[in-house]
Amino acid sequence: MKIRAYILFFLLWSVHIAFSQKYLDTLPQLDLSKIALINQKDSYITFPTDIGNIEPLMFEANVNPSFVIRERKDSKLMAVLTPQITIRMYNQESYPVQTPSFIPQISVYYLANKYEALNYLVFFGKIAHHSNGQDGNFYNNDNTINLQTGNFATNFMEFGFLKTAYSDRLKAIKTLKSAIEIHPKSWMLQELNGKYSGLRWHNTFTSFKLPLTYSGSNKANFSLKAETTLMLDDYNDLDVFDLDRLNASLTFYYHPKFLEDIGLFVQFYHGMDYYNIYFEHQLSVIRLGIMTEILRF
C-alpha cells in the first residue's frame, strides 16, 4: 500500500514539475544583456511642446547606442560601451544647437545570482566622461557662467546593483536600481568645485507591462519609470534638506501596435538641468516625444 502511495505521489509531483516548467518556458526571458539595457539611458526625441520653465526648444534628442562586450551569451560578466550624446535645438533664429552633452561611458555588469525565473541580482560599475566640447572661459566678464562657449568637463564613477522580478498578477517585469555616483574633485573642472555636486545617490524603479497572452518575441505594451537623484555632498551652500538637492522624474512609455521599433512617451522632470554647463538652472517640465524600443522579450 505504501509503495502505491509513493508511486502516486511521484507521478503527481512529476506532472506538477512538467506543467511548472512549461509555464516558465512561456514567460518572457531575461538575460544579463537585457538587464544591462534596462539600466542604460533611453534614446529619444522630444516634440516642440515642452510645458514648463525650460527655454523654447525645437527638440531635445538623446542618442545612446549600446555596444555589448561579452565572451558568450550566457556569460555572468559583460561590459557595455555607450557613446551617449544629448542635443538641444533651440527655437530661435537659425535654430542653433548649443553646447551638446558628450557622455561616453563604459559599464561592467556581473550576474551575482539568479534565484528563480526572472529573479536576478546584478552588480555594476561605470566610468564616464561628461563634457560639452567647448574651450572658452567658464565665466563671462560679469562673473556669470558662460553658457555659449564656456568649458564644462567632469569625470565620474558609479557603483550599484539591479534587482529584477516578475509579477504574474500584473504580467509585468519589475526592476529596482540603487547606485552611488562619485565625481572626485581632481576629475572635475576646477571651476565646478563647490558648485557642482560630486556625490549623488540614484534610485530607479521600472515596470514593463507585457501582453496578457505572451507568445514569445513580444514587446512590452507600456513601461513606467520613476527616478530620483539625491545630492549628498556640500555644494552651492545648500542646506541639508534643501529641495534643490533632489532630482525626480516620472516617464510613461506606450508602444502602439502599428509602430515597429519606436513608441510614445510622456515625462515629468523636476530638478537640476542635466544639460552640461546649464547645471545651475532648476527645471520643472512636462515633455512628449518618441522613444526607441529597448527590449524584445
Burial class (CB in 10 A: 0-12, 13-18, 19+), 95: exposed
Percent with pLDDT over 90 in the chain: 66
The chain-wide mean pLDDT, for the chain, equals 86
194 touches 185 (CB < 8 A): no
Q: DSSP characters for 189-243? A: -GGGTTTS--EEEEEEEEEEEPPSS--SS---SEEEEEEEEEE-S--TT--TT-G
- Tell me what the mean pLDDT of segment 69-92 comes to: 93
Residue pLDDT, tens place only, 124-151: 999 999 999 999 999 999 999 999 999 9
48 touches 57 (CB < 8 A): yes
pLDDT in the model for residue 286: 97
Q: Flag the least confident range among 15-19, 56-60, 94-98, 280-284.
A: 15-19
Residue pLDDT, tens place only, 17-29: 333 344 444 566 7
Domains of the chain: 29-292 (2.40.230.10)
pLDDT in the model for residue 22: 40
**How much is the pTM?**
0.86
182 touches 157 (CB < 8 A): yes
Q: pLDDT category, 172, cuts 50, 70, 90?
A: confident
Residue pLDDT, tens place only, 192-231: 999 999 999 999 999 988 665 555 545 667 889 999 999 9
